[in-house]
Amino acid sequence: MADGLFGSLLDKYRNAVDMRKRTYGESLVKSFTNQTNVPISNSNFTENELQALDKLIKSNYEEKTAYFSRPKKELLQDASILEKNAQDDYNFIKTFDPKKFGNVGPDFLTKIEDRAKLNLTKAQQLKEAAQGKIPNDFTFAYTGYGDRTGENKFTNDPMGWAQTLGRFRYKINPTTGEYQVYDTYDFNNDVHRYAAENFASMSPVERMGNALKDTLVNNNQYALGEAYLSGKNAIPVNITRNLQLQQSPKMLENPAYKDPFADTTR
């Protein structure tokens, strides 16, 4: 009886509160109660929400496999272009003269180096794919949600996964067709990074006071997340579903090949 009543109340809560707000609030509770090791999982979402995620990942995976199963010549040509772009970035870093550029951010060169590393990784993916070795570990970028129709609204995302998980990693088990979303729920990205670092430098009392002030007075809806869901307080995400996603017969599975960055541009 208790389980039935609790389950009914839980269903009403999930149907009444959208998952972006639920995930944010529940993650803050984990941070406040030192339970940041408890992952966000299937049980935190309704079946309708999970089915919407299924649809997003299925479409994204089909796009990825089509991209990597193009003719060998195309794959190698694209890999060569990416390698050249990476080399151009490294050459720029070596010859960078700050006097010619004026004021730049402290991480200006770091971002260029990261772009070069990503291009080299993507080039390696393409060369592997040209040999039939297709990665099964991908990044789901914002482009996967469709066209933007408003603030945090996308054509292919009626449930609001873009506002909940944003950009995330997922991998496919080519034998079972199961997918696993694995990532962290945090405020460590470029948008919130500096505010999060500022909060991290404060004492516990100062951090709480400033976070509440920013939330209640300055109407910053992300302040508590920046203060309590960044750095070591990131919440792991582990959502597993079986869609029976299979690689094309022409694709050879290579379990040893893992893409550390993935293709974030598609």
Q: If you write DSSP's letter for every residue of 66-124 in order, what string do you get?
A: HHHTS-HHHHHHHHHHHHHHHHHHHHHHHT--HHHH-S--TTHHHHHHHHHHHHHHHHH
φ and ψ at residue 8, rounded to 5 degrees: -65, -45
Q: Is the confidence at residue 77, as pLDDT, over 60?
A: yes
- The domain limits of the chain are 2-186+234-253
For 115-151, the pLDDT digits (tens) are: 999 999 999 999 999 999 988 899 999 999 999 987 7
Tokens, residue 139: 């990044």
Q: Measure the CA angle with vertex 82, ends 78 and 87; round to 5°.
A: 150
DSSP three-state, residue 251:
coil
Could you tell me which residue, 247 or 13, shows the higher pLDDT?
13
pLDDT at 188: 83
Contact 83, 123 (CB under 8 A): yes
pLDDT at 6: 64
How far apart CA 90 and CA 81 sit, in angstroms, is: 14
Say what percent of the chain tops pLDDT 90. Answer: 66
Using 50, 70 and 90 to split pLDDT, how confident is the model at 40? very high
242, containing H or E segment: strand 235-242
Amino acid, res. 8: S
Using 50, 70 and 90 to split pLDDT, how confident is the model at 153? confident
Parallel, antiparallel, or unpaired for β 133-134 and 252-253?
Answer: parallel
Any bridge partners for residue 239, and if so which? 181
